[in-house]
A = this chain, B = another copy of it.
Amino acid sequence: MNNWPAQHSSPYVNSLALPLQQYKVVRAIRMAGDLSRTDLARKLGYSRALISGVVKNLIARGILVEGEEAASTGGRRAKNLVFNDSFAYVFGIDIGATSVDLALANFRGEFLLRDARPLDVRDGPEAVLTEIAGIAQAMIDELGIPNDKVLSLGIGVPGPVDFARGVLIMPPIMPGWGEYPIRQKMRGIFPAATVMVDNDVNVMAMGELRGGAGKGVENFIFVKVGTGIGAGIVARGSIYRGSDGCAGDIGHIQADRNGPVCHCGNVGCLEAMASGSAISRLAMEVARDGRSPIMARYLEQGVERLTARHVGMAAHEGDRVAMAIIKESGSLIGSVLAGVVNFFNPSLILIGGGVAHIGTQFLANIRRSVLSRSLPLSTQNLRIDYSSMGDDAGVTGAVALALEHIFIAAE
């Protein structure tokens, strides 16, 4: 299909190798935000003297600095250790089908600049990534940050990713992107950067885990309902990708064995029946055959293709057929999630993506369907809610992804 050069280099070719003890200290502070030397010694099982030595090295390397004074416990006041915010800069880049959202963050993960604009992934990887690199370049120029201080990029994309290799695998809605060497392209502009590419739902789940409703939640699922349907999985506090990196592909679980044929070739996939595309298709049907006079009016008024947003508007206007489409979509998603709940027993399911806010009946029917089909033991502590971060989940997760891969442990 494509003839991109094979990308053999390790994802970590630019990662900074730290001795294991330093690496563990950095990781502990990344998870906690700030820690005292005593905290570190207790957490890692190192002696106080060893920690002092390791911390001294990390301060000398410019990675850590002494932070605010911790709460006094009598005697000498302990200062907590925090990251030196200017040690490195990272970009979180959330690429959608028709938009891109960027955040430039410092080494502590604080956002310095944001940019969001429309963009069409169908223009292909060369054009799209050249444009994104240009935006990123303008952002660091604005703050006077040199290119080689950008040590990591986290990139979320709306398609299946081979996480280790950082390439898309046969992406259905990103023509031309399969196997394209995103890492090499971005390193052309940011030569010192580690480049991590992940599926957009994994990145959103990461965002919720580090900065949203998933904070401190051991096992949860982020479900994105947009043009397609997919899930990001957090198991025991970190992103679970499965054996081939494609875990969470709930859009192709069968929702109805008598359902329509999906673009994947199977019958009755959830995505073919309840996604934004499916809702759009159903809306066109009921508008054309006269079952929905309200949506027929939208077409007369010049709307070319009805979308989930129009269905939501029609339902809001009292259109019963639109309401039924919303309810049925929620019920189908809920019936598939009921199986997921029985299998995975999460304590939280977050619903995000462009279709999530189509109408109150949508979430209500997801909940109803899960509760009626899952076992009581699995649902007693289960919360099903909207994504807490909305459009920020992706870019927040992309920054977290970037920050977590600046260092590797030396062999």
> Chain A residues in contact with chain B, CB under 8 A?
19-21, 23-24, 42, 45-47, 50, 160, 169-170, 218-219, 231, 233, 235-236, 240-250, 252-254, 256-257, 264, 266, 335-336, 338-340, 342-347, 372-375, 377-378, 380-382, 409
Contact = CB atoms under 8 A, between A and B. Distances in A.
Given A266-B373, A377-B244, A250 B345 contact: no
Nearest to A43: B20
Given A50-B50, A244-B381, A254-B338, 16 more contacts: A21-B45, A231-B343, A235-B235, A242-B344, A242-B378, A243-B345, A244-B345, A244-B380, A246-B345, A247-B343, A247-B344, A249-B342, A249-B345, A250-B342, A252-B342, A266-B373
A244 B219 CA distance: 10
A377 B347 contact: no
What 6 A-B pairs have minimum CB-CB distances, sorted nearest first?
A242-B345, A20-B45, A243-B347, A247-B345, A253-B339, A249-B342
Contact of A254 (B45, B247, B373, B381): B373
Contacts of A374: 252
B373 A242 contact: no
A253 B253 CA distance: 12
Nearest to A256: B257
Given A343-B343, A344-B343, A377 B169 contact: yes
A344 B250 CA distance: 9
A295 to B, nearest CB: 28
B336 A339 contact: yes
Contacts of A245: 345
Contact of A246 (B244, B254, B377, B409): B377
A152 to B, nearest CB: 23
A42 to B, nearest CB: 8
Contacts of A160: 377
A240 to B, nearest CB: 6
Nearest to A240: B235
A23 B50 CA distance: 18
A20 to B, nearest CB: 3
A252 B377 CA distance: 12
A101 to B, nearest CB: 26
11 contacts: A231-B343, A243-B345, A246-B345, A246-B378, A249-B342, A249-B375, A252-B342, A252-B374, A253-B339, A253-B343, A254-B338
A185 B252 CA distance: 48
A56 to B, nearest CB: 16
A381 B266 contact: no
Contacts of A50: 47, 50
Contacts of A343: 231, 233, 247-250, 253, 340, 343-344
A349 to B, nearest CB: 11
Given A21-B45, A375-B249, A375-B252, A242 B346 contact: yes
Contacts of A42: 20
Contacts of A264: 375
Contacts of A21: 45
A380 B335 CA distance: 27
A381 B243 contact: yes
A231 B345 CA distance: 12
A27 to B, nearest CB: 11
A45 B40 CA distance: 14
Given A345-B245, A346-B243, A335 B254 contact: yes
A235 B246 CA distance: 14
Contacts of A336: 339
A63 B254 CA distance: 52
A336 B257 CA distance: 12
